[in-house]
Amino acid sequence: MGYFNGLQALETPEYLTARLDKLGGPDSYNHYAVGWAHAMNTPYQWTKQVASHWGGTRNATVVHWPKGIKAKGEIRSQFTHVIDVAPTVLEAAGLPPPLAVNGIQQDPIEGTSMLYSFDNALAPEQHDVQYFEIMGNRGLYYKGWSAVTKHYTPWIQAKRPAFDDDVWELYDGSKDWSQANDLAKQMPEKLHELQRQWLIEAARYKVLPWTTGSLKNSTRTCRPAGADQGQEPAPRRRHGTPVGKLRPQRQEQVALRHRRNRGAGEGG
């Protein structure tokens, strides 16, 4: 876990060689190198944690429901996000979203059911806007278009720039699904439209405010709608345990998972 504690400088070849027998075991944080991450995301740009580009967020999804889906082995191209899974299951089961869980009032589900697309490959897209943000790397999908900006590179420990200095890119997904042709300079008005929409979505789903170069952004507990900035939200529960009673590291994990489930994470 040295990487997560800023100890990259200590991980010299000599340091790693002396611990060769521990690599791959329970005493090491086992991960593949950056080169493999890039290769596995080809032809998309960037990797996990870079929420701006499809290489950091896009995943293949298989839906299997023999009794409910007539189509067999077909592909759907309507935009879908991980937050759409819950409303899809609820609609398929004929169940309403829960208003409260264990006595805790629930926020409205923000996803869109995928059920409409299962037997109609040409059905008009219903989930046509989605923001992305992970520690400053941010992007927006809007009716086939995407506006994106990479704020920092996850594996490079360096001072991060001001958000105003980030460079935005613009892609037309109807013709350029791999985000290869940046249209920002040719279509500045379209880029401005999507940047503005990102701010609207970020404000709506409590992404703002954030601070540059801080992990606080990914572990911030979501504040209930309308809560005063000086008032702490009621503790959220997970498996019956108030978040406030969990150990600090677990609090951060729960808060991060909660925030990702609200739509900041992976789409497709």
Render the burial of 193-222: b for 16+ CB within 10 Å, e for the rest: bbbebbeebbeebbbeebebeeeebbbbbb
Domain ranges of the chain: 32-264
Stretch 61-74: mean pLDDT:
92
What are the CA-CA distances from residue 198 to residues 129, 146, 152, 234 (Å)? 9, 10, 18, 28
Which residue did the predictor score with more confidence, 234 or 10? 10
**What would the pLDDT profile of 129-164 be if each residue is shown by its tens digit?**
999 999 899 999 999 999 999 999 988 878 888 898
Q: Cα separation of 193 and 147, whole Å?
A: 9
Q: Cα separation of 182 and 45, whole Å?
A: 12
Among 214, 221, 73, 202, smallest CA distance to 147 is for 202
Q: Cα separation of 263 and 93, whole Å?
A: 22
Ranges 21-25, 96-100, 252-256, most confident: 96-100
Stretch 46-69: mean pLDDT:
93
Instruction: Check residue 118 and give its pLDDT.
Output: 95
**What would the pLDDT profile of 241-250 be if each residue is shown by its tens digit?**
444 444 545 5
Q: Are 171 and 148 in contact (CB under 8 A)?
A: yes
**What would the pLDDT profile of 85-135 be if each residue is shown by its tens digit?**
999 999 999 999 999 999 999 999 999 999 999 999 999 999 999 999 998
Instruction: Check residue 157 and give its pLDDT.
Output: 76
Which residue did the predictor score with more confidence, 192 or 230? 192
Q: Cα separation of 83 and 264, whole Å?
A: 9
Ranges 7-16, 130-139, 228-237, most confident: 130-139
Among 52, 216, 38, 235, smallest CA distance to 137 is for 52
Ranges 70-74, 158-162, 257-261, most confident: 70-74
Res 233 pLDDT > 50 = no
Confidence at 255, pLDDT banded by 50, 70, 90: low
Instruction: Check residue 230 and give its pLDDT.
Output: 36
Single pTM value for the model: 0.73
Q: Which residues contact 110 (CB under 8 A, 6 or more apart)?
A: 83, 205, 262, 263
Stretch 54-83: mean pLDDT:
93
**What would the pLDDT profile of 176-229 be if each residue is shown by its tens digit?**
999 999 999 999 999 999 999 999 999 999 888 876 544 444 433 333 333 333
